[in-house]
Amino acid sequence: MAHPGPISASRQPCQLWLLAMSALTLAPHAPFLPAWLGMLCAGLIIVRATQLRFDRLRVPQLVVILIALATAIGVKLDFGHFFGKDPGIALLAVLLGLKLIEVRASRDVYVAVLLCLFLLLGLFFEDQSILAGVLALAGFVLALCTLLSQQDAAAPAGAQLKAAASLLFQATPLFVVLFFLFPRVPGPLWGLPSDAFSSMTGLSDTMRPGSISQLSLSEAIAFRVEFDGAPPPPAQRYWRGPVLTRFDGQVWHPVFSPVTDTPQYSVTGSGFGYRLTMEAHNRRWLFALEFPDRAPTGARFSRDNRLLLQSPLHQRARFELRSYPATATGQDEDQHRLTEALRLPANSNPRSLELARRIADDATHPKEILDRVLAEMKTLDLTYTLEPPLLGTHSVDEFLFDTRLGFCEHFAAAFVVLMRAAEVPARVVTGYQGGEINPVDGSLVVRQSDAHAWAEVWLPQRGWVRVDPTALAAPQRIESGLTAALPRDGDLRGLMRPAADLLLSIRYHWEALTNAWNQSVLGYNDEVQRDLFKELGFREPDWRLLSTLLGASAATVLLALFAWSLRRHRRGEHLDRLWQIFCRRLAHKGLARMAWEGPIDYAERAAAAFPREARTIRMIAHHYARLRYATTGKPDQGALRQFSVLIRSLRFSKKTDDDRKPAKS
Amino acid sequence: MPQIDVRPLLEAANRIILGKEHSLRLALACLIARGHLLIEDIPGVGKTILAHTIAQLVGLEFQRIQFTSDLLPADILGVSIFDAEQHSFRFHPGPVFAQLILADEINRATPKTQSALLETMEEHQVTADGQTFALPSPFFVIATQNPADQIGTFPLPESQLDRFLMRIELGYPDREAERALLMGEDRRRMLERLAPVLQPQDLQALQRAADAITVSPRLIDYTQSLLAASRQSPDLRNGLSPRAGLGLLAAARAWALTDGRDYALPEDLQAVFPHVAGHRLRIAGEERPVPAETLRALIQSVKLD
């Protein structure tokens, strides 16, 4: 750097603030950075802390340059490219760490603060939760403290924090204006190549043994639902996802389904209206309650009776839906699809096929076969478990006859295989089942752990009938959710144990808060913004209007803040205004104060002129003299009020008025 | 508030010197402000009595030095005389080694002698034969000079006048006071009977209390306005010095104390202003001290918010 020299003791507070700010900025990025990069940043911060402790530790410039080069190469190797937010953030993070260990002049501090601000903003690329907001705010306060301590190193930390918080508070009106008026761009701003929408938790479009039990470990929220009225009972809460028809012996796949604007069924029974807020899952599936009457904007019906979005869901979105759980579907299913739903791989699961043939031997009606298969599965004494053993080639055989331990996908798969072997069309449906009502705000929260697989069989006249074979072994799974269905000593995480009531309640509150945040802050998108302005009476709100409004509002806010600060500046002179009121009143009586006259002299003169009011006049003058001249600070608010009362108490008696001109007041 | 009340002191003094409450209070304020006082008036109006009264009431050790044209510095400061027994010179302190000095008719002495006293006033010590002797504390000089008598005098130059915090004039007593004076007892005899009201340590406490008197930022503003006005006035040869500004505030503090307040008001400043500023200012183009009207006009030209 251009200004070498040890960090002087007077600049120490600024350096500490800088360190705290950098640590706070980098820490939340750590989970999103490659491990080696996170460790490098942590190391650089530790080096900096050591430097501050022991003044003489200096990292040679060459080393800094080498680290920077090595990091660039590492980022290139790790991400494959330099463009996009992830490598960008990674580079910025290391740059901040490196800047930190070579901060010498105040210019370096400014650069580091700037880097921090960029990184704080960058956090929102990964995470837009309340927590991220709070962290960014905290980081911003520390950045302000750093800059403030750069100006006045001697001020105590508390004062710096207070000043920074006050600055931030003063910025609030501007921030509100920006929030409401800044033109929103539809879609995510940072849709950059390749690394956008990488991996996310959620259902996949295929199913293999263990794929859903894996998912059930995740407490992540899949979607939230707010029902217009009472929600349907848990046993009817089937949120339909991918329908899997093709089975290759190991993996279940969907078959091609054309999409239409209207459903293939006509709804019957009572309907449930609801708003579904879906988390981004980078798929086109919309997990609607079975079965919606009409597709919301941007979605269409597929031939297998589920809703598909026109493009993958890259950001949280809200849908208005109405579903009718009692609806019958697929009475007129075409033969081709039914044939698909009968196909079984050759040389697979011989024991199951054998069993199915035996069951179906003398059955006359598919319904009868269905009942017998279910009864047979029941007798097999299958156990529902979150940790089923690994299965080999004939997975269904092994599950039914050997291990007898399985999760919902095992039950669904086994059932469908048995049905198909008995010549009844059947298919696997995946999605979510149940969900949990948050008692705080009454919304239904469906988590990844609610992921489920069930089956549909096609019966003549009745069409596709939903059968949930999991209910055979664990009826509680359908009635009250996963936690209840598993044995008490099951290896579940603490939160899922009902005993942890307090934690549960905290989680409910937190999730209600998060939901509110999602709905009102993050949900304020271009559409909501447009609607808001339409409601306010702007017919065609476009970005030009918004920009004009934004400029005007920002200017107003700034002017208001300016006026406020001026007023605040003058508030110390409140006393003067009161005194002037008193002087004016006497002036109206023909006794103006001389410009040079002190308060006591003036009062004596006035007291001589108005002997009846002499006492009050003298009191006012002495009060004023004391407030004005007996203190070097600002006058006390209480004393000011008293003074104002005293001035108002001054009344001129009639007699004195007679020989003077009539008073205005 | 000061623990020591100055009112009994003033009352006692007023019994001796009739009709001069204001001048007495100014003199006392000057003493409390640790300044020296110059009384400019014709003989016989009670200058000596005033000095004596103050010394008596405060219990200060008093010395009067009558300045004449043949007075030498050593007559004031003291001399070193050879001590035959000890075979060395011994310093014999002069009359200046007292707590209250009345330097009567200071303008009669030669500038050399004048400056010997004035330097002592400033430094609070006497240096003789390479030895330094500290003066007693408190140390307060009241000098008098006769403005009417111009023959054979050496008027104090401005730079020397600056050493005095205040200059006051006593003037003739009013009719009533003079009548009481004429009818009453001999003042000198009254003085002999006068018991001290304060102890010297009380005076020091008063001086400390004056230091602690609140001067609000607004009063500082006003002081600066007054100083600026004196510097900008076309009637004056030059304005008040920063030392005069400090003196103004010190005097205003002491004046507030004599009023029983623990904070200073613009009125205090206005009350002491003519006496602190008068002898430091000269009318432009003339060798004449500023008349009281000019000083009053100066105060009235400064706006007090």
User: What value does the mean pLDDT take over residues A626-635?
Assistant: 83
Structure tokens at B76: 């004031």
Residue A77 in this model has a pLDDT that exceeds 50: yes
Closest residue in B to A631 (Cα–Cα): B216
Burial category of A401 from C-beta neighbours within 10 Å (exposed 0-12, middle 13-18, buried 19 and up): middle
**Percent of chain A beyond pLDDT 70?**
89
pLDDT at B213: 92
* HEC secondary structure over chain B: CCCCCCHHHHHHHHHHCCCCHHHHHHHHHHHHCCCCEEEECCCCCCHHHHHHHHHHHHCCCEEEEECCCCCCHHHHHEEEEEECCCCEEEEEECCCCCCEEEEECHHHCCHHHHHHHHHHHHHCEEEECCEEEECCCCCEEEEEECCCCCCCCCCCCHHHHCCCCEEECCCCCCHHHHHHHHHCCCHHHHHHHCCCCCCHHHHHHHHHHHHCCECCHHHHHHHHHHHHHHHHCCCECCCCCHHHHHHHHHHHHHHHHHCCCCECCHHHHHHHHHHHHHHHCEECCCCCECCHHHHHHHHHCCCCC
Residues of chain A found within 8 Å of residue B299, distances taken between Cβ atoms: 596
pLDDT the model gives residue A198: 44
Please give the average per-residue pLDDT across A431-459, as a whole number.
86
Is residue B26 over pLDDT 90? yes
- Average of per-residue pLDDT across A136-142: 92
Which 595-614 residues of chain A touch chain B by CB within 8 A? 595-601
A482 compared with A351, residue with greater pLDDT:
A351
Say what the pLDDT of residue B178 is: 87
Contacts of A601 in chain B (CB under 8 A): 267, 270
Picking from A559, A590, A565, the residue whose alpha carbon sits closest to that of residue A656 is: A590
> For the residues A579-595, what does the mean pLDDT come to?
88
pLDDT tier for residue A3 given thresholds of 50, 70 and 90: very low
Amino acid identity for residue A438 in this structure: N
Q: Take residue A125 and report the two structure tokens written for it.
A: 């690329």
CA distance B166 to A175: 62
Which of A576, A600, A631 shows the shortest C-beta gap to B305? A576
**Mean model confidence pLDDT for chain A:** 82
A403/A663: higher pLDDT: A403
pLDDT at A573: 72
pLDDT range class, residue A602, cuts 50, 70, 90: very high
Question: In A610-623, which positions are buried (b, 16+ CB within 10 angstroms) versus exposed (e)?
Answer: beebeebbeebbeb
pLDDT on residue B166: 93
Give yes or no for residue A312 having a pLDDT over 80: yes
pLDDT digits (tens, 9 = 90+) for A464-499: 999 888 887 777 777 666 666 655 444 444 445 555
Find out whether A212 and A453 touch, Cβ atoms under 8 Å. yes
pLDDT > 60? residue A245: yes
Rounded Cα distance, A635 and A633, in Å: 6
Contacts of B219 in chain A (CB under 8 A): 629
Strand A451-459 relative to strand A307-309, pairing: unpaired
Please, how many CA atoms are within 13 Å of residue A457, restricted to the half-sphere of its CB?
A: 27
Predicted local confidence at residue B221, as pLDDT? 92
Identify the closest residue of chain B to A635 by CA–CA distance.
Answer: B216
A645: contact with B, CB 8 A cutoff = no
The H or E element containing residue A322 is: strand A317-323
Kindly determine whether residue B300 and residue A628, on different chains, have CB atoms separated by under 8 Å: no
DSSP A536: T
The domains located in chain B, with CATH, are 1-208 (3.40.50.300), 213-305 (1.10.8.80)
Residue A9 near chain B (CB below 8 Å): no
Q: State residue A193's pLDDT score.
A: 39
Could you tell me if A320 and A296 are in contact, meaning their C-beta atoms sit under 8 angstroms apart? yes
pLDDT at A251 over 90: no
Residue B118: pLDDT above 70? yes
Q: Which of B216, B267, B300 lies nearest to residue A628, judging by beta carbons?
A: B216
Mean pLDDT of B177-199: 83
Of the residues A580, A622, A623, A629, the best mutation for testing chain B's interface (the one with the most B CB atoms within 10 Å of its CB) is A629
Are B265 and A632 an interchain contact pair (Cβ–Cβ within 8 Å)? Answer: no
CA angle B283, B289, B290 (to 5 degrees): 60
Minimal-distance CA residue of chain B relative to A600? B267
As beta bridge partners, residue B125 has B134
What integer pLDDT is reported at residue A194 of this predicted model? 37
Contacts B298 to A, Cβ<8 Å? none
Are A632 and B300 an interchain contact pair (Cβ–Cβ within 8 Å)?
no
**Identity of the residue in A597, A601, A631 whose CB atom sits nearest the CB atom of B214:** A631
User: Shortest Cα distance from B155 to chain A (angstroms)?
Assistant: 34
Q: How far is A571 from chain B (nearest CA, A)?
A: 15
CA B225 from centroid of its chain's CA atoms? 25
Q: Is B67's pLDDT higher than 70?
A: yes
Rounded distance between C-alpha atoms, residue A112 and residue A100, angstroms = 7
Q: Is the pLDDT of residue A200 over 80?
A: no
Q: What is the rounded average pLDDT for all residues in chain B?
A: 87
Instruction: Please write the tens of the pLDDT for every residue from B132-185.
Output: 888 888 889 999 888 766 677 888 877 788 889 999 988 888 888 888 888 888
Q: What pLDDT does residue A570 have? A: 59
Helix (H) or strand (E) holding A323: strand A317-323
Question: Cβ–Cβ of A594/B300 closer than 8 Å?
Answer: yes
Mean pLDDT of B25-51: 88
Interface of B with A (CB under 8 A): 214-219, 262-267, 270, 299-305
With cut-offs at 50, 70 and 90, classify the pLDDT of residue A360. confident
Report which of A594, A585, A627 is spatially closest to residue B265, judged by C-alpha positions. Answer: A627
Instruction: Identify the pLDDT of residue B270.
Output: 94
Q: Is A286 helix (H, G, I), strand (E, B) or coil?
A: strand
Q: Per-residue pLDDT averaged across A37-44, rounded?
A: 91
pLDDT given for residue B1 in this prediction? 43
Q: What is the ipTM of this complex?
A: 0.88
Domains and CATH numbers, chain A: 9-155 (no CATH), 335-434+452-492 (3.10.620.30), 574-658 (no CATH)
Range with the poorest average pLDDT among A236-245, A483-492, A539-548 = A483-492
Give the H/E segment covering residue A274.
strand A272-278
Q: Is the pLDDT of residue A571 over 70?
A: no
Give the DSSP H or E segment for A451.
strand A451-459
Who among A576, A598, A631 is closest to B266 (CB)? Answer: A598
At residue A663 the predicted structure's pLDDT band, cuts being 50, 70 and 90, is very low
SS3 A475: helix
Catalytic residues of A: 408, 452, 468
pLDDT at residue number B180? 85
Task: For residue B218, give the nearest of A595, A597, A628 by CB distance.
Answer: A628
- Per-residue pLDDT of B71-116, as tens digits, reads 998 888 888 888 888 888 888 888 989 999 999 888 888 888 888 8
